[in-house]
Amino acid sequence: MLTPRRGSGQLIYNLAMRHHFILLLFCSLISAQTLRQAGAQRALLMGAAADSSEQSPDPLVTDAMYASTLGTQYSMLEPENNMKWATIHPAQNTYNFGPGDELVTFAQAHGMNVRGHNLCWQVYNPTWINTYATTATPAQMSTQFQNHINTVVSHYAGKVFAWDVVNEAISDSQTGTGVVLKDSIWYDQPGIGLTGTGYIEQAFRWARAADPNALLFYNDYNIEAPGAKFTALLVMLKDFVARGVPIAGVGIQMHIDTTGYPSSSGFAQNIQAIAALGLQVHITEMDVRIPVNSAGVAAASDLAAQAATYSRILTVCLQNPGCTAFQTWGFTDKHSWIPSSYPGYGAALPFDLNYQPKPAVASMINTTQTVAPVLSASNIVNAASYAAGAVAPGELITIFGANLGPAALVGTTLDSNGNVSSNLSGTQVFFDGLAAPVIYSLAGQVSVVVPYEVAGKSQTVVQYSYNGVLSNTVTVPVTQAAPGIFSANASGTGPGAILNLNYTVNSASNPVAAGGVVVVFATGGGTVQGGAKDGAPAPGTANQSLPVTATIGGQTATVSYAGLAPGLVDGVMQVNLTVPTGLTGAQPLVVTVGTVGSQSGITVAVK
Ligand code: G3I
Cβ distance 375 to 402 under 8 Å?
A: yes
CB environment 533-566: b (16+ within 10 A), e (fewer): ebbbbbeebbebbbebbbbbbeeebebebbbbbb
pLDDT of residue 19: 44
Across the chain, what does the average pLDDT equal? 94
The mean pLDDT value for 199-220 works out to: 98
Cβ distance 548 to 589 under 8 Å?
A: no
Per residue in 324-379, pLDDT tens?
Answer: 999 999 999 999 999 999 999 999 999 999 999 999 999 999 999 999 999 999 99
Active site residue 285: yes
Residue 523: other Cβ atoms inside 10 A? 30
pLDDT tier at 10, thresholds 50, 70, 90: very low
With the most atoms of ligand 1 within 8 angstroms of its CB, the residue from 54, 56, 80 to mutate is 80
Check whether 13 has a pLDDT greater than 80: no
Q: How far is the CA of 168 from the centre of ligand 1 (A)?
A: 15
The mean pLDDT value for 38-51 works out to: 97
Cβ distance 454 to 432 under 8 Å?
A: yes
User: Atom 32, ligand 1: which residue's CA is nearest?
Assistant: 337
Question: What is the C-alpha to C-alpha distance for residues 310 and 356, in angstroms, rounded to an integer?
Answer: 17
With the most atoms of ligand 1 within 8 angstroms of its CB, the residue from 53, 77, 81 to mutate is 81
pLDDT of residue 2: 42
Question: Which is the catalytic residue, given 54, 80, 102, 168?
Answer: 168
Per residue in 414-451, pLDDT tens?
Answer: 999 999 999 999 999 999 999 999 999 999 999 999 99
User: Atom 18, ligand 1: which residue's CA is nearest?
Assistant: 124
pLDDT of residue 4: 41
Check whether 482 has a pLDDT greater than 70: yes
Q: How far is the CA of 81 from the centre of ligand 1 (A)?
A: 6
Which is more confident, 28 or 267? 267
Question: Which is the catalytic residue, given 78, 224, 285, 395?
Answer: 285
Lowest mean pLDDT among 131-135, 172-176, 432-436, 588-592: 172-176
The mean pLDDT value for 10-38 works out to: 56
With the most atoms of ligand 1 within 8 angstroms of its CB, the residue from 89, 118, 336, 337 to mutate is 337
Q: How far is the CA of 117 from the centre of ligand 1 (A)?
A: 12
pTM for this model (two decimals):
0.91
Active site residue 168: yes
Question: What is the C-alpha to C-alpha distance for residues 526 and 588, in angstroms, rounded to an integer?
Answer: 23
Cβ distance 351 to 330 under 8 Å?
A: no
Which residues surround ligand 1 with Cβ inside 6 Å? 54-55, 80-81, 84, 124, 167, 253, 285, 337
Angle of CA points 122, 123, 126, to nearest 5°: 110
Check whether 7 has a pLDDT greater than 70: no
- Burial label, 64 (beta-carbon count in 10 A; 0-12, 13-18, 19+): exposed
User: Atom 19, ligand 1: which residue's CA is nearest?
Assistant: 124
pLDDT of residue 54: 84
Question: What is the C-alpha to C-alpha distance for residues 4 and 522, in angstroms, rounded to an integer?
Answer: 13
- End-to-end Cα distance, the chain: 23
pLDDT of residue 31: 62
Check whether 85 has a pLDDT greater than 90: yes
pLDDT of residue 177: 81
Per residue in 249-273, pLDDT tens?
Answer: 999 999 999 999 999 999 999 999 9
Question: What is the C-alpha to C-alpha distance for residues 116 and 122, in angstroms, rounded to an integer?
Answer: 17
Lowest mean pLDDT among 20-24, 203-207, 308-312: 20-24
Q: How far is the CA of 11 from the centre of ligand 1 (A)?
A: 53
Check whether 479 has a pLDDT greater than 70: yes
Cβ distance 329 to 285 under 8 Å?
A: yes
Lowest mean pLDDT among 24-38, 52-66, 388-402: 24-38
User: Atom 35, ligand 1: which residue's CA is nearest?
Assistant: 80
% pLDDT > 90, the chain: 92
Check whether 138 has a pLDDT greater than 80: yes
Question: What is the C-alpha to C-alpha distance for residues 341 and 579, in angstroms, rounded to an integer?
Answer: 73
Instruction: Please report the atom of ligand 1 found closest to the CA of residue 167.
Output: 38
pLDDT of residue 488: 92
